[in-house]
Amino acid sequence: MTESPPTGVLFDRVHLQQGQRYIKDGNLAFPCQSPVNPLDLPKGQEVVTVLAKQNARIVLEWDESFVTKSGFGILFPEAEAMKLVAKHTDVPVPEVIFTHFDPVEDVPPSVCLKPSYRPPEGTIGMTIVPGITLEKKWDTLDDEAKESICLQLWNLTSKIRNIPRPQELEGLYQCAADGSPSQDPMLEDLQKPARPILNDSELHARIYERYLHFGGRRYENQLLDMFPLSERSVFTHADIAPRNVMVDEQNNVTGILDWEWAGWYPEYWEYAQIMRPAFWGDFQNWMDRTAPQRWDLRGINAARKVLF
């Protein structure tokens, strides 16, 4: 009995499944279960692997040659962050090959809530980072390997912290990699247009304002005194987590991914982001015990319980 040929689906992120490999032919995608050499395909066909798919975003590997990250909320600052890191450090990051971004408009919240509203989309094309995600490997590692990886990560973040601030951003204390306002839910301004954050006190005031706006009352009179203090801000990845770290078979860190939150933040922000409540096994414990400096996070964690 002859097997039926695989049925194609429309090549659209709605129809593509995470972890699946496809042969793309025109506007159709055909599931592909066996390994395929892209050079053996007829002209016009491509091998596409869905590396990740979440929240109207998708990460695709094309012909084992490059990766695209696309969808809603993929913005220029993420690409700018990777370029800054590549220019000023030897920290392993994807090389940006090409980009495309919809224009970003300052849209009132009332418009965003309308069913017809379509948020801006973007695409970043970049090189492939070798290795596998630390998330897939962490639980198989012994204590020596875990400590080694965490020390490597802190060493890499120290290099990131030394990236010089572009002259046009002087005076801004906290901002995205291109100087635009932060999209972090802790820091997004309730006012439009967003006000710049010029020092640590203004950053604390921003968090406090959001805390009260969203119903925080328990620490209404204490929160501002509970925050850590920093006179300077440094370049920060702001989302160091096992899912964003690539490692090789020898447990060397081969790349840090997902720079969408990166920008200039207080010195304590990287530590605070790594230590935020999450389900990462003992990764946080190892990052804490190997940290070059620890910070008092009572205020930030109290605000998180209301803002997340």
Chain centroid to CA 253: 17
The first and second tokens of residue 12, run together, are: 């659209």
**Beta strands 28-31 and 9-10: pairing type?**
antiparallel
Please name the residue that has the structure tokens 């975003």.
Answer: 57
Using a pLDDT cut of 90, give the percent of the chain over it.
Answer: 79
Q: Is residue 2 part of a domain?
A: no
In a domain, 147, yes or no: yes
pLDDT digits (tens, 9 = 90+) for 204-221: 999 999 999 999 999 999
pLDDT value of residue 257:
97
Residue 234 CB: number of other CB atoms within 10 A?
19
pLDDT averaged over the chain? Answer: 91
- Please indicate, yes or no, if residue 116 is contained in any of the structural domains: yes
DSSP three-state, residue 89: coil
Q: Within its chain, how far is the Cα of 70 from the centroid?
A: 13
Query: Are residue 81 and residue 210 in the same domain, yes or no?
Result: no
The structural domain count of the chain equals 2
* Within-domain flag for 54: yes
Residue 288, Cβ neighbours under 10 Å: how many? 14
Residue 158 and residue 252 share a domain: yes
Specify whether 36 is located in the same domain as 121: yes
Q: Is 22 in the same domain as 148?
A: no
Q: Same domain for 254 and 278?
A: yes
117 and 209 housed in the same domain: no
pLDDT, position 2: 44
Percent of the chain with pLDDT over 70: 93
Q: Which of 1-10, 27-36, 126-135, 236-245 has the lowest mean pLDDT?
A: 1-10
Of the candidates 32, 75, 77, 76, which has an alpha carbon nearest to the alpha carbon of residue 50?
A: 32
Top pLDDT among 262 and 102 is at 262
Residue 263 shares a structural domain with residue 282 = yes
Amino acid in the structure at residue 42? P
pLDDT digits 0-9 by tens, 69-126 = 999 989 999 999 999 999 999 999 999 999 999 886 655 554 454 555 567 899 999 9
Identify the helix (H) or strand (E) that includes residue 71: strand 66-72
Digit-coded pLDDT (tens) for 161-198: 999 999 999 999 999 999 999 889 899 999 989 999 99
CATH assignment of the domain containing 170: 3.90.1200
98, 169: one domain: no
pLDDT of amino acid 279: 64
Please write the tens of the pLDDT for every residue from 130-155.
999 999 999 999 999 999 999 999 99
Of the residues 62, 92, 126, which one is the last residue of a structural domain? 126
Residue in 196, 190, 191 with CA at minimum distance from that of residue 169: 196
Residues 169 and 283 in one domain: yes
196 found inside a domain:
yes
What's the rounded mean pLDDT across residues 34-44?
A: 87
pLDDT at 306 over 90: yes
Per-residue confidence (pLDDT) for residue 133, from 0 to 100:
96
Q: Which of 75, 94, 126 is the last residue of a domain?
A: 126
**3: in domain:** no
The whole-number average pLDDT for the span 263-285 is: 91
Which carries the bigger pLDDT value, residue 43 or residue 254?
254
- Helix axis angle, 298-307 to 200-213, nearest 10°: 40
In a domain, 161, yes or no: yes
Most confident segment among 19-33, 102-116, 245-259, 275-289: 245-259
Length of the chain: 308
Range of the domain at 168: 132-307
> Are 28 and 137 in the same domain?
no
Contact (CB, 8 A) for 215 and 104: no
pTM of the model: 0.90
Rounded Cα distance, 159 and 179, in Å: 20
Q: How many CB atoms lie within 10 A of CB 260?
A: 22
Q: Confirm whether 1 is domain-assigned.
A: no
Other Cβ atoms within 10 Å of 282 Cβ, number: 13
The b-or-e profile of 163-195 (16+ CB within 10 A means b, else e) is: bebeeebeebbbbbbbbbbbebebbeeeeeebe
Q: What is the pLDDT of residue 264?
A: 97
What is the spatial distance between Cα 178 and Cα 180, in angstroms, rounded to a whole number?
6
280 and 144 in a single domain? The answer is yes
Q: Residue 72, SS3? A: strand
Residues 156 and 299 in one domain: yes
Residues 6+ apart with CB under 8 A from 277: 301, 304
Q: Which of 126, 160, 193 is the endpoint of a domain?
A: 126
Angle at 236 (CA atoms; ends 232, 238), nearest 5 degrees: 125
Query: What pLDDT sits at residue 117?
Result: 56
